[in-house]
């Protein structure tokens, strides 16, 4: 009994000590200056994202988790992340059948059975957190900016709602929040990753198809992913230096 | 998802730029075009267009005052727009709008109009009483020196301002074209030709507008229309139209020949959703028909009155009725240029950046970005122009007499 109480006190003291830096960092994160926090060094990270097409089963858990975590409106159709399903007839590869019903929020219906054999796969999409982002370039007031750790973020107190960045993004990842009239997009769950957590979508993905990666951390598994897999980015001709790396990406994906 | 065909990215369901953003290049184009017409007289000494010189300047000012309003109405947070002046993002094309606008408004237009009207303003000031006297005194900035020497300085300064004004007008509208042309994500917009096409279409629309305004206002004032002036303006309108049409066709042919991955999507769009506004209204009735009409009229003075051929008689007939033909050509041109702005702004958003699907633009009526505010914003410059014309009559003393000059011989 005595030892149980002692253990509890010890555990509690440890938890208190461990959570204090997190609490300290949290204040800075809320203030929009995570780099000022003692235990999160923006210069020590460079965030990227890895997606394994062959692992994605189109369950839509990531879409739901993202909407819950980041308060993304359910209506109209606005998404920080969504999943597309490609169905390609090998005889007509130039005309893939693509759909993303409600962004894949509710998963996908079965493909109607047919005699024809088709190729099909899912493609999760999100902000590519490009290091030469057209959206950052065009923002007239600098409300959209690159964080020092490689995440494209929006200062919602500064955004004019001119929508130029929405036009400039080649990937369709931005939308106007109908409640605030400013632009919104994937933040790579910045409030989570600066506390040592992964993104909500990665957290819930049942197959590990989505992986947050710190490109500055030599021990991060993303390096093994980039080394061992044939990876591709979306629309490389746009030269945006996207940091969303896809393994198993079909050439038909736009 | 009504109106959607094929696959579009989920966030593309809502169109980002509405009819108000169509008005923005349309209105700034009229400003730049009207100013260029004014500068023909001032800098290039095209005396024939003198009756429209001041009218063109006031038209440019009336439209320039309205130019930022559609943008303000469109912004999600218009109250923050001033931060574009205070802390602009220097890499952003859009951030420069405020500076280009202010430069053009203050350094070019207001200064030129003030210098040109200073003599009359002082005369009105001295001749009027009550609030009007105060108003003109304020407009004169309290300076009443209008002796010959100071008017000479005004004239020389005004000429210098016009010379600065021409590249500024090019900058104003070329810049608006750059905002669209520099977006690599959108193949419908992304072309280095965009600023040039915008500029020449601006010149076309500004010349057509001032020509129509001159004809209508002179008719309303029951004065005789100076046909030498209208003939000359129509000639310049024809030249500008030919350059504009050539540039647009160059863009089209280049796209068709190069046939990059976006061509199928864009081609489909033009053949379906943009067929009426692009092919019928912009290209055929807005450009080809005015070029043919104005081109045929150029033959008028060349045909002798003794020519008996069918063609000669037809052209003579056209020449006799050239005033309504000018009005028709000018009106078709204006509608065509509006359609061009529509096709650029709205057309550029009707296809998905995935090139796999299309959406539609559903214009609302009495909403912030609906048809009603768009109509109000298009009427507003004419109201401002009416006030400006009352305040600063653009008609020279000799112009207020019925015109006695004969029309060009035919």
Give A75-112 pLDDT, tens digit per residue.
878 999 999 999 999 899 889 999 999 999 999 999 88
Reported as a pLDDT band with limits 50, 70 and 90, residue A115 is confident
B263: helix, strand or coil: helix
CA dist list (Å): B229 to B19, B210, B304: 35, 11, 22
Enclosing H/E stretch for A154? strand A152-154
pLDDT at A161: 97
Quick one: what percent of chain B has pLDDT higher than 70? Answer: 96
For residue A166, list chain B residues with Cβ-Cβ distance below 8 A. Answer: 11, 16
The tokens describing B188, both together, are 């419908």
* Nearest-Cα residue of chain B relative to residue A171: B353
Nearest alpha-carbon partner for A76 in B1, B370, B356, B349: B1
pLDDT at A1: 47
B43 pLDDT higher than 80: yes
pLDDT at A188: 98
CB spacing of B89 vs A78 below 8 angstroms: no
List, for residues A197-214, the tens digit of each pLDDT value.
999 999 999 999 999 999
B407 pLDDT higher than 50: no
Distance from C-alpha of A148 to C-alpha of B204, rounded to nearest angstrom: 48
Contact pairs from chain A to chain B, CB under 8 Å = 124
Nearest alpha-carbon partner for B94 in B199, B207, B178, B187: B178
* Nearest-Cα residue of chain A relative to residue B183: A168
B405 pLDDT higher than 60: no
CB spacing of A160 vs B80 below 8 angstroms: yes
The tokens describing B375, both together, are 């109509």
* Nearest-Cα residue of chain A relative to residue B86: A141
pLDDT at B214: 97
Rounded mean pLDDT, B250-275: 92
Mean pLDDT (chain A) is 91
List, for residues A172-231, the tens digit of each pLDDT value.
999 999 999 999 999 999 999 999 999 999 999 999 999 999 999 999 999 999 999 999
Distance from C-alpha of B190 to C-alpha of A45, rounded to nearest angstrom: 34
* Nearest-Cα residue of chain B relative to residue A175: B11
**B100 — contact with chain A (CB < 8 Å)?**
no
Reported as a pLDDT band with limits 50, 70 and 90, residue A113 is confident
Rounded mean pLDDT, B198-210: 97
Residue numbers of B between 162 and 221 with CB closer than 8 Å to A: 179, 183-186
pTM of the model: 0.91
**B93 — contact with chain A (CB < 8 Å)?**
yes
Distance from C-alpha of A209 to C-alpha of A51, rounded to nearest angstrom: 6
pLDDT at A19: 60
A2 pLDDT higher than 60: no
The residues, ordered by sequence, that sit 6+ positions from A9 with a Cβ below 8 Å of its Cβ are: none
CB spacing of A168 vs B183 below 8 angstroms: yes
pLDDT at A26: 64
Rounded mean pLDDT, B56-79: 97
Q: State the residue for tokens 């993202």.
A: A66
List, for residues A37-70, the tens digit of each pLDDT value.
667 999 999 999 999 999 999 999 999 999 999 9
pLDDT at B404: 44
Angle, CA of B14, B16 and B22, to the nearest 5°: 130
Reported as a pLDDT band with limits 50, 70 and 90, residue B58 is very high
Closest Cβ–Cβ partner in B84, B92, B185 for A169: B185
Nearest alpha-carbon partner for B42 in B135, B134, B164, B130: B164
Kindly report the nearest CA distance between residue A188 and chain B, in angstroms.
18
pLDDT at B409: 40
* Nearest-Cα residue of chain B relative to residue A183: B76
Distance from C-alpha of A199 to C-alpha of A73, rounded to nearest angstrom: 18
The per-residue DSSP string of A169-202 comes to -TT---EE-TTTSSEE----SHHHHTTT---HHH
pLDDT at A50: 98
CB spacing of A172 vs B354 below 8 angstroms: yes
CA dist list (Å): A21 to A26, A34, B302: 8, 12, 90
Whether cis (ω within 30° of 0) applies to the bond prior to A76 is yes
Closest Cβ–Cβ partner in A77, A98, A138 for B7: A98
pLDDT at B24: 95
Whether A36 and A56 have beta carbons less than 8 Å apart is answered as: no
B181 pLDDT higher than 90: yes
B132 pLDDT higher than 70: yes
Reported as a pLDDT band with limits 50, 70 and 90, residue B397 is low
């Amino acid at each position: 009994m005595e030892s149980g109480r002692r253990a509890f006190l010890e555990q509690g003291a440890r938890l208190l000590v461990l959570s204090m830096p997190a609490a300290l960092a949290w204040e800075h994160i809320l203030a929009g200056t995570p780099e000022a926090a003692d235990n999160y060094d923006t210069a020590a990270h460079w965030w990227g994202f890895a997606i394994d097409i062959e692992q994605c089963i189109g369950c839509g858990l990531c879409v739901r988790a993202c909407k819950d975590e980041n308060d993304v409106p359910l209506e109209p159709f606005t998404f920080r992340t969504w999943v597309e399903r490609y169905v390609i007839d090998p005889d007509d590869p130039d005309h893939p059948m693509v759909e993303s019903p409600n962004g894949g929020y509710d998963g996908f219906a079965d493909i109607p059975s047919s005699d024809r054999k088709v190729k099909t796969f899912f493609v999760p999409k999100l902000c590519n957190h490009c290091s030469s982002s057209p959206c950052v370039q065009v923002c007239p007031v600098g409300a959209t900016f690159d964080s020092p750790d490689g995440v494209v973020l929006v200062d919602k107190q500064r955004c004019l709602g001119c929508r130029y960045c929405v036009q400039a993004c080649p990937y369709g990842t931005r939308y106007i929040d109908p409640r605030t009239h400013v632009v919104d997009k994937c933040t790579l769950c910045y409030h989570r990753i600066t506390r040592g957590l992964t993104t909500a979508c990665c957290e819930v993905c049942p197959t590990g198809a989505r992986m947050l990666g710190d490109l500055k951390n030599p021990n991060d598994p993303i390096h093994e992913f980039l080394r061992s897999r044939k990876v591709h980015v979306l629309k490389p001709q746009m030269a945006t230096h996207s940091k969303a790396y896809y393994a198993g990406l079909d050439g038909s994906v736009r | 998802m009504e109106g959607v065909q094929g696959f579009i990215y989920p966030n593309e369901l809502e169109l980002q730029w509405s009819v108000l953003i169509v008005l923005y290049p349309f209105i700034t184009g009229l400003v730049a075009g009207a100013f260029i017409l004014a500068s023909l007289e001032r800098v290039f000494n095209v005396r024939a267009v003198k009756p429209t010189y001041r009218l063109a300047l006031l038209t440019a000012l009336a439209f320039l005052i309205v130019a930022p309003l559609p943008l303000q109405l469109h912004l999600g947070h218009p109250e923050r727009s001033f931060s574009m002046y205070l802390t602009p993002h220097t890499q952003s094309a859009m951030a420069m709008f405020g500076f280009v606008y202010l430069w053009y408004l203050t350094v070019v237009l207001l200064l030129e109009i003030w210098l040109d009207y200073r003599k009359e303003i002082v005369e009105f000031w001295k001749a009027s009483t009550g609030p009007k006297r105060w108003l003109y005194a304020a407009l004169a900035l309290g300076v009443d020196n209008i002796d010959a020497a100071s008017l000479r300085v005004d004239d020389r300064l005004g000429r210098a301002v016009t010379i600065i004004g021409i590249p500024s007008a090019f900058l104003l509208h070329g810049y608006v074209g750059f905002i669209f042309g520099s977006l690599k994500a959108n193949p419908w917009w992304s072309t280095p030709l965009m600023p040039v096409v915008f500029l020449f279409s601006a010149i076309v629309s500004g010349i057509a507008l001032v020509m129509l305004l001159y004809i209508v206002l002179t008719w309303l004032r029951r004065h005789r229309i100076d046909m030498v002036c209208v003939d000359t303006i129509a000639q310049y309108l024809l030249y500008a139209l030919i350059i504009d049409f050539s540039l647009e066709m160059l863009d089209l042919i280049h796209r068709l020949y190069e046939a990059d991955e976006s061509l199928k999507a864009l081609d489909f769009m033009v053949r379906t959703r943009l067929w009426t506004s692009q092919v019928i209204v912009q290209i055929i009735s807005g450009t080809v028909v005015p070029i043919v009409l104005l081109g045929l009229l150029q033959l008028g003075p060349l045909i002798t009155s003794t020519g008996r051929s069918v063609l000669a008689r037809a052209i003579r007939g056209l020449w006799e009725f050239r005033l309504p033909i000018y009005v028709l050509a000018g009106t078709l041109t204006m509608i065509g240029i509006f359609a061009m702005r529509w096709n650029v702004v709205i057309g550029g958003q009707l296809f998905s950046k995935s090139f796999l699907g299309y959406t539609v633009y559903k214009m609302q009526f009495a909403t912030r970005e609906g048809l009603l505010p768009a109509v109000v914003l298009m009427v507003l410059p004419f109201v401002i122009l009416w006030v400006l014309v009352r305040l600063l009559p653009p008609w020279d003393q000799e112009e207020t007499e019925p015109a006695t000059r004969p029309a060009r011989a035919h």
